Chains A and B, each alone.
Chain A
Amino acid sequence: MAKPKVAFYWCASCGGCEEAVVDLAENILKVVEAVEFVLWPVAMDFKIKDVEALQDGEIAVSFINGGIRTGEQEHVAKLLRKKSGLVVAFGACAHLGGVPGLANFSNRDRIFDYVYHKSPSVDNPERIVPQEKTVVREGELTLPEFYNTVHTLDQVIDVDYYLPGCAPPPDLIMNAVEAILTGNLPEKGAVLSPDKSLCDTCKRKVTKPEKTVIREIKRVHEVMLDPEKCFLDQGIICVGPATRDGCGERCINANMPCRGCFGPTSRVDDQGAKFLSALASIIDADSEDAINKITDSIADPAGIFYFYSLPASMLKRRLDI
């Protein structure tokens, strides 16, 4: 029997998701043995025309990581959708927009202006910026369009499953691969991770007081963190209450608070707003001045609450630019 064809593709992301696949260690041999790769630009030399030559639906599953930021990414995502039976949004950026999605607090003009003119390390006296079309002696050169907004994968194509995480942990990847190979899949649209909050399995739960109260917000570099105690109880912002479980608590185990890369549970539409609600509710102050004093000490609230999920949020981007 022919092996199922598999594609991996990389859109607007850091490359950590590709690394996570390599981190399957010897398990990757099982995967390689069971499937046939038809596209995996980071590891193997295939061309887009090889994919175009395939029949529609011929690829069993495409794993696409990264948000959609350029025209090329949208084009390949749509091509893979057409050629694939299943599409899995792989990792936080494809799932929620991820860290690159924080660019939605800005726009294309501001990003280009900073990157090509204002950044202190840039020397660009002729003020050259990349163009979609450039005519040179040999002909016309093209670059993909850089969009104003970063999109999640499912805002551009239909997505069958989501593998959350920055990057997805190896055990969840292996579970997903096995589920796909054996056809033992949950209902379409599922996030392949437990649907409860991270606090539910956090090992610091035992030290959490009955009623957590915050009188002062601190940042991780300002204090020596107690490695046993709930972060919120130490005045440290931890997005665990508004984040899905299943990551294996890698950050918590390294004494760092959760930043929410697994996204919200299925009952939540907007992770940032939900976390804001949880955080504000445990602030121990009743007067307007005292409340404002505590909330004003949060540096960049939107940036923290939507660290991984801005493009997937209700507002999706800054509205006035």
Chain B
Amino acid sequence: MKDFEPRIIGFLCNWCSYAGADAAGSARKIYPPNVKVIRVMCTGRIDPQFVLKAFQSGADGVLILGCHPGDCHYKEGNYNALRRFHLLRTMLAQFGIEKDRVRLDWVSASEAEKFVATVNDMVKKVKILGPLRKTAVA
């Protein structure tokens, strides 16, 4: 599985994490290009259907990044994301989707370093897991 390059969908909140990713880019930090970023206004907007859609469409992992608890632009959208996240991961495990394929973390607008470290770590873990297996459906 040496050549496997995971496809990871990153849902980044507009107010903190997207700005954090932007800061990483402006600072010319180097990180793997495996994460395709989708900007959302808030992690609280991320319907679990979005995560399933990502896996259905061929993603090997989903990364959700939002404002630190207490810092949400909409006060508690990130708490809503947190409430959904653990249950979603538990449920996805029943579908045979390993826990490391879905990650929720907090990245502020100034945390370019943390953004890079999180992406690095996520890519590393999904590489170890390999492609999301697709069972023959017949």
Contact = CB atoms under 8 A, between A and B. Distances in A.
B79 A314 contact: no
Given A273-B47, A288-B82, A291-B82, A107 B135 contact: yes
A256 interface: no
B45 to A, nearest CB: 11
A262 B27 CA distance: 53
A300 B87 CA distance: 11
A79 interface: no
Contacts of A303: 94
Contacts of B82: 288, 291
Contact of A277 (B47, B86, B96): B47
B87 A272 contact: no
The secondary structure that dominates the B interface is helix
B41 interface: no
A318 B94 CA distance: 7
Given A270-B52, A315-B95, A301 B90 contact: yes
A21 interface: no
A281 interface: yes
A270 B136 CA distance: 21
A234 interface: no
A96 B55 CA distance: 20
B84 A280 contact: yes
Contact of A315 (B52, B84, B87, B90): B52
B96 A318 contact: yes
A276 B87 contact: yes
6 contacts: A107-B135, A279-B87, A315-B55, A318-B94, A319-B97, A320-B133
Interface of B: 47-49, 51-53, 55-56, 69, 79-80, 82-84, 86-88, 90-91, 94-97, 132-138
